[in-house]
Amino acid sequence: MNNIKFWFSRGSCSLATHTLLHESGLPFTPIETSVQKQETQSASFSRINPKRRVPVLSFDDAVITETPAIALAISQWVPEKGLLGASELHKVRVLEWMCWLSGEVHGQAFGGLFRPQRLTDDPALHQSIQTKAKQRVAEAFKIIDSKLGNAFAVGESLTVVDPYLLVFFNWGNEVGFKMTEEYPAYADFSRRIAAHPSVINALND
Predicted confidence at residue 186, as pLDDT, reads 98
Predicted confidence at residue 2, as pLDDT, reads 73
Phi, psi of 30 (to 5 degrees): -80, 135
Residue 202 covered by a domain: no
Whether residues 21 and 106 fall in one domain:
no
Q: What is the pLDDT of residues 41-87, one digit of tens each?
A: 999 999 999 999 999 999 998 999 999 999 999 999 999 999 999 99
- The model's pTM is 0.95
Residue 205 covered by a domain: no
| Residue 1 pLDDT exceeds 80 | no
Q: What is the pLDDT of residues 100-112, one digit of tens each?
A: 999 999 999 999 9
CATH for 104: 1.20.1050.10
Q: What is the pLDDT of residues 20-48, one digit of tens each?
A: 999 999 999 999 999 999 999 999 999 99
| Residue 5 pLDDT exceeds 70 | yes
Residue 44 covered by a domain: yes
Residues β-bridged to residue 56? 7, 65
Among 82, 103, 135, give the residue marking a domain's end. Answer: 82
Whether residues 184 and 94 fall in one domain:
yes
Whether residues 171 and 137 fall in one domain:
yes
* Full domain range(s) for residue 186: 88-196
Q: Which amino acid is at 201?
A: N
The alpha carbon of 158 is separated from its chain's Cα centroid by a whole number of angstroms, namely: 14
Whether residues 149 and 168 fall in one domain:
yes
| Helices and strands: H and E segment counts in the chain | 10, 4
The answer to whether 64 touches 26, Cβ cutoff 8 Å, is no
| Residue 169 pLDDT exceeds 90 | yes
Q: What is the pLDDT of residues 124-167, one digit of tens each?
A: 999 999 999 999 999 999 999 999 999 999 999 999 999 999 99
Count CA within 13 A, CB hemisphere, residue 25.
6
The answer to whether 145 touches 185, Cβ cutoff 8 Å, is yes
